[in-house]
Structure 1
Amino acid sequence: MNAPFDGGFVEPPLAGGRSARTRLRWEIGLVLAVSVGQSALYSVLSLVRASLRTTPLSQQQTQLNPTRDAEAIWDVVYRFLNIAFSLAIVALVVYLLWEPGANALRRIGLDFRRFGSDLGRAALVAAVIGIPGLGLYAVSRILGLNIAVVASPLDTAWWVVPLLVLSALRAGLTEEVIFLAYLFDRLRRLGWSWWSIIVATAALRGAYHAYQGFGAIVGNFVMGVVFGWCYRRWGRILPLVIAHTLLDVVAFVGYPLAAALWPAVFAPASTPSPSPTPSPTS
């Protein structure tokens, strides 16, 4: 068991007999099939389709938070429901992690016991990932390795901003709770080594973002390794959820400004790219 600054990852018990391990493998497969695994498959297929098109990747685009209806009220309703149903999957995963006599939220560190230190760590991780990540995106766009990612509509109304913040929170909870809290627990119970888990979940995270291009695969793989190491070290998911949410809030809310200041890098391209899923989350 790890013994870092304030607790570290709580070592889960290994799965019992053969039947228990088989059941655990089925559970992992089903969770991935209805969540990030499904999205990763669609995302990879989206990149394959985009690469086979005659239009270069640099001249294609994908939208993260598209308008869902021409009428404002219905746009709000549909966006809110999309976020709510996505968070229901997060709740399901937390439910699966719950065990008799043990609070799952407390065990994975999704609570506010150490909010001050969690917030400080989140800011540090967000800076470490966000600044180089922005540079990687810019270089990838210049080299034609990335699709133009339209993070939010350019004509965003004021009432869309709270929904973008909720979308960012949804992305942070979905990815960190499933990629880290859930898969770290389940794969460790199956006897996987720590670095095998970190690399495998980072690779899945990269595939999950493949629809954005090759630069996004590399950037999110590195992010997955860093986040995985931090979770193993700290044993708390909250600072990583906060860091991810901060990154996406800046990307979503700040996109119109970035597109106006650096149109060559951030402005929408001419050709839409097939969406990876009906509702990409980040």
Structure 2
Amino acid sequence: MAPALDLLPRRTALTETALVLGVSLGASALWSALSLLRKLTADEGLSGQVTSMNQSVTPDQPWLDLTHQLVGIGLALVPVALALHLLARQHPHPARLVGLDGRAPARDLLQGMALAATIGIPGLGLYLLARALDLNTTIAASDLGQAWWTIPVLVLAAGQNAVLEEVVMVGYLFTRWREAGWSPVTIVVVSALVRGSYHLYQGLGGFVGNIAMGLLLGAVYLRVRRVMPLVIAHWVIDVVAFVGYALLVTRVGWL
């Protein structure tokens, strides 16, 4: 039987989560809101504007560009290390506490792939509909050119997104907000709203779609108590989006 956790006081738990969000995805939410405001006040409609992701920094210097990409991916994972470090004050194995481990690889993979299909296919339809209704920008999921390292970096970037979002937004926040006395419904809804808000830079379609994704993933986590299936699902979705875009953008007109 796992030892009982020494829970943080409610105020301390809430302050800590606010600070962790402030140096990670909460800050991204504020910048995303400002980005959407700028786009909404532009002369051109949302669907006519392009949101570029995974952008090249020094396209004329491939090795330096690769270094920029890898450093960016590494630094983006620092909040994950911070969240696990903070959880370690109450639990000797914080990664195991949130289910970020290899104890059930087959089950995690099966659940993750099922979640990816459940989220990814409707998500693509929602994106196309939102863009047709001028509620979303056109997403350029990769702007790294055709360097030899483009695909591996996109796969790593997808993994970074998955680990950062699912460990912080679900594993860490669900633990701390539960300690603060929040109900499971409140935790799932607030986490989903924050998830949607840091995707506002994409447009209103991205906001709504990611809220729906957050509600589903939050509900699944409450049931399985493991973030690994969520990480796998998120990673697969982003790999398909990033790599698929890079391979098909010159071949498929509707992208």
TM tier, shorter chain? over 0.9
Q: Give the alignment of 1:1-282 within 5 angstroms.
A: 15=8, 20-69=9-58, 70-99=60-89, 102-153=92-143, 155-263=145-253, 265-266=254-255
Q: Which runs of 5+ in 2 are unaligned?
A: none
Aligned counterparts of 1:55 and 1:48: Cα–Cα separation in 2? 13
Name 1:273's counterpart in structure 2. none
Paired residues, number: 252
Q: CA deviation at 1:251?
A: 0.5
8 Å CA contact retained: 1:184, 1:197: yes
Aligned counterparts of 1:110 and 1:153: Cα–Cα separation in 2? 31
- TM-score under structure 1 normalisation? 0.85
Q: Which runs of 5+ in 1 are unaligned?
A: 1-9, 267-282
Aligned counterparts of 1:76 and 1:194: Cα–Cα separation in 2? 42
Q: CA deviation at 1:171?
A: 0.1
Q: Share of identical aligned residues, percent?
A: 43
- TM-score under structure 2 normalisation? 0.94
* Secondary structure of residue in 2 paired with 1:254: helix
8 Å CA contact retained: 1:44, 1:208: yes
8 Å CA contact retained: 1:59, 1:147: yes
Q: CA deviation at 1:151?
A: 0.4
What does the per-residue CA deviation read over 1:85-108, in whole Å, with 9 as the maximum and x for residues that have no partner? 111221111111113563111111
What does the per-residue CA deviation read over 1:55-92, in whole Å, with 9 as the maximum and x for residues that have no partner? 11111011110001130010000110011111122111
* Secondary structure of residue in 2 paired with 1:149: strand
Where relative contact order (Cα < 8 A, 6+ residues apart) is larger, the structure is 1
Runs of 4+ in 1 over 4 A off after TM superposition: 10-14
Aligned counterparts of 1:79 and 1:135: Cα–Cα separation in 2? 30
* Secondary structure of residue in 1 paired with 2:249: helix
What does the per-residue CA deviation read over 1:95-124, in whole Å, with 9 as the maximum and x for residues that have no partner? 111135631111111001100010000000
